[in-house]
Amino acid sequence: MRRPARLSLACAAAAALLAPALPLALAGSATAEPAGARVQDFLADQLADLGAGEAVVMVHGTDLAAAEAAVDAAGLTRGTAFERIGVVVARGTAAEIEAARTQPGVTYLEGNRPITFQQETSNVATRGAEAVATLKGADGSALDGSGVSVGVIDSGIDPTHPYFREAVGSSAVVSNQKVVCDLFEIACTVQDVGPLVDTDTLAAGGHGTHVSGIVAGRPTTLSDGAQLQGAAPGAKLVSLATGAVLFIVGADTALEWVLENHEAPCGEGVPATVCPPIKVTNNSYGPSGGGEFDPESATAKLQRALAAEGVLTVWAAGNDGGDGSANVVNPDSQDPTPGILSVASYFDQDTGTRDGVVSDYSSRGEAGRQATYPDLSAPGEAITSSCRLTMPICGTGLDPRNGPGLLDVGTFNTISGTSMAAPHVAGIVAQLFEAKPTATPAEIEAALKGTTYKFTDGAAYEPTDGGLTTSFDKGTGLVDVVAAVQALVGATAEPTTVRTKPGLGKGRTKP
Ligand SMILES: [Ca+2]
Ligand SMILES: [Ca+2]
């Protein structure tokens, strides 16, 4: 579940701090080895394998002059100097580096250890980050979901969280709504609480802030060097806070608000350039245990009306696991109406691979009844997003992280669930609408399901009446943003609408 051990900037700093604690070991080993400065283990290993090549070495001296003199005497090529700490960066052969070791005043030889930025890998597995970097929307701008608002129906949001901060001082959160119900959940209203109210902390939540960050977190570098962004880092967010304790009437009140307000979610007076229309909602909630879809439910009627008006509904498939012997998928996600998506949880094993696994907890449909299957899979396991430690669900995270600012302590955390898979797809839907603003929800669902990557973990794929293949655990497979965009745009538009890097163009073989 944890990341494979990788050296981050924070780890590198820790190693440097530990070095002064080693003189006792140094004194002991000095008697057993030829006289001279200690050599870092990493560099020693590198030198053993170096052959006739050259390596980079940091020559530490008692002062800068000693280090410089040693570099010159050993025949190394001098580079940068860290004057204040008496270190000269140099390059040379193993023999030259060994010669520097015994020069007067040399205290330590250190190699040039590689360090890695820890990029959140979930947008690699979906090819969503690749789409942002290499594809353009219909407006010619990067395919980051701009021009689209995503409605997030969840516990709430901390709109002041740095993950939602934009470079120009504005926020990804354009509308902050709170569903307020009476004690019996029969009288509910939606209230605009303004740009600063943290509805998530008020609700003792945290879930909604994490989910919203997965949808549309802005590019952010954490204190340890990790680089994060949401699936659609240019999309806007309309938060509909239902509180941490959910009842279906409250959630339906939010869906009904979207139905009434999706074209102008900030009010008629606010232009779409500032506050774009809602084209998709994310719904990471459902009854525990899953069950059969009820086409007569208020939720079904609302999401069908939304699809008819051009708004997709994205659902988490549920966290009830299963083995295909029973249908435990989130009921409303099974609605066969085109434009309603049920998302299973995929785990990229923190590597960005597309050949990972279906999460154990991801709800399975009933084998042999394709109507109960999830539509597709997206990363949901070990997802890092906005999550302050002061919020209850974030305290359960495995990996509190700091940043981007010095005072931003415990602002990000890593949690898992189909709740984290669905918002990847909600952000991806925003990308698809940016690629083709006239697309219908049915076209977008077809493009997503027709281009999935067929990772093989779990149940076998079986043919559908529609000419696809699907499975009771992972649906049609792992979402592939680049392939979905090409399928969506290529069908009706000139190929020049989407510009790609070489190798990713129309000739690319689909997996
Ligand atoms: Ca854009
Ligand atoms: Ca569907």
- Which bound ligand lies closest to the C-alpha atom of 475? 2
Q: Tell me how crowded residue 368 is: count the other CB atoms within 10 A of its CB.
A: 10
pLDDT at 167: 78
pLDDT at 12: 25
Asked whether residue 504 is domain-assigned, the answer is: no
Asked whether residue 503 is domain-assigned, the answer is: no
Tell me: do 152 and 268 sit in the same domain. Answer: yes
pLDDT at 1: 34
Tell how far the Cα of 342 is from the centroid of ligand 2, in angstroms: 6
Give the DSSP H or E segment for 385: strand 383-386
Asked whether residue 354 is domain-assigned, the answer is: yes
Q: Is the pLDDT of residue 220 over 90?
A: yes
Tell me: do 191 and 84 sit in the same domain. Answer: no
d(CA 406, CA 345): 33
Tell how far the Cα of 130 is from the centroid of ligand 2, in angstroms: 25
The pair of structure tokens assigned to 93 is 């052969």
Contact predicate 263/279, CB 8 Å:
no
Active site residue 210: no
Name the active-site residue from 60, 144, 149, 154. Answer: 154
Containing structural domain, residue 134: 122-497
Tell me: do 102 and 187 sit in the same domain. Answer: no
CATH of the domain at 107: 3.30.70.80
Chosen domain end from 111, 136, 169: 111
SS3 content of the chain, % helix, strand, coil (to 5): 30, 20, 50
Asked whether residue 506 is domain-assigned, the answer is: no
Tell me: do 76 and 172 sit in the same domain. Answer: no
Q: What pTM was estimated for this model as a whole? A: 0.76
- Which bound ligand lies closest to the C-alpha atom of 470? 2
Tell me: do 302 and 244 sit in the same domain. Answer: yes
Question: 209: which DSSP letter?
Answer: H
| Widest pairwise Cα distance in the chain | 86
Tell me: do 261 and 394 sit in the same domain. Answer: yes
Mean pLDDT across 132-146 = 96
d(CA 479, CA 482): 9
d(CA 50, CA 44): 10
pLDDT at 227: 92
Residue-wise pLDDT tens digits, 245-283: 677 888 999 999 999 999 999 999 999 999 999 999 999
d(CA 110, CA 122): 35
Tell me: do 84 and 43 sit in the same domain. Answer: yes
Chosen domain end from 111, 145, 166: 111
pLDDT grade, residue 232 (50/70/90)?
Answer: very high
Active site residue 262: no
Contact predicate 243/180, CB 8 Å:
no
pLDDT grade, residue 471 (50/70/90)?
Answer: very high
Mean pLDDT across 408-420 = 92
Tell me: do 209 and 144 sit in the same domain. Answer: yes
Tell me: do 24 and 104 sit in the same domain. Answer: yes
Q: Kindly report the average pLDDT of the chain as a whole number.
A: 86
Asked whether residue 502 is domain-assigned, the answer is: no
Per mean pLDDT, which range of 138-152, 355-369, 495-509 is the poorest? 495-509
Contact predicate 250/180, CB 8 Å:
no
Asked whether residue 507 is domain-assigned, the answer is: no
pLDDT at 34: 56
Q: Is the peptide bond before 219 cis (omega within 30 degrees of 0)?
A: no
Tell how far the Cα of 423 is from the centroid of ligand 2, in angstroms: 15
pLDDT grade, residue 114 (50/70/90)?
Answer: low
- Sequence-distant (6+) residues with CB within 8 A of 467 are none
Q: Is the pLDDT of residue 176 over 80?
A: yes
Tell me: do 473 and 427 sit in the same domain. Answer: yes
Q: Is the pLDDT of residue 192 over 90?
A: yes
Chosen domain end from 64, 92, 111: 111
Pairing relationship of beta strands 149-154 and 236-241 according to DSSP bridges: parallel
Per mean pLDDT, which range of 23-32, 74-83, 273-282, 481-490 is the poorest? 23-32
3-state secondary structure of 241: strand
pLDDT at 119: 59
Q: Is the pLDDT of residue 511 over 70?
A: no
Contact predicate 214/314, CB 8 Å:
no
Asked whether residue 4 is domain-assigned, the answer is: no
Asked whether residue 511 is domain-assigned, the answer is: no
CATH of the domain at 248: 3.40.50.200
pLDDT at 31: 39
Instruction: Count CA atoms closer than 13 A to 305's CA, side-chain side.
Output: 16
pLDDT grade, residue 25 (50/70/90)?
Answer: very low
Is the model more confident about 155 or about 120? 155
pLDDT at 237: 98
Contact predicate 290/320, CB 8 Å:
yes
Number of domains into which the chain is organized? 2
Beta bridge partners of 500: none
d(CA 446, CA 476): 11
Active site residue 207: yes
Tell me: do 410 and 470 sit in the same domain. Answer: yes
Tell how far the Cα of 160 is from the centroid of ligand 2, in angstroms: 34
CA distances from 59 to 11, 22, 98, 244 (A): 21, 17, 11, 56
pLDDT grade, residue 224 (50/70/90)?
Answer: confident
Name the active-site residue from 146, 419, 424, 480. Answer: 419
- Which bound ligand lies closest to the C-alpha atom of 433? 1
Contact predicate 89/43, CB 8 Å:
no
Tell me: do 27 and 53 sit in the same domain. Answer: yes
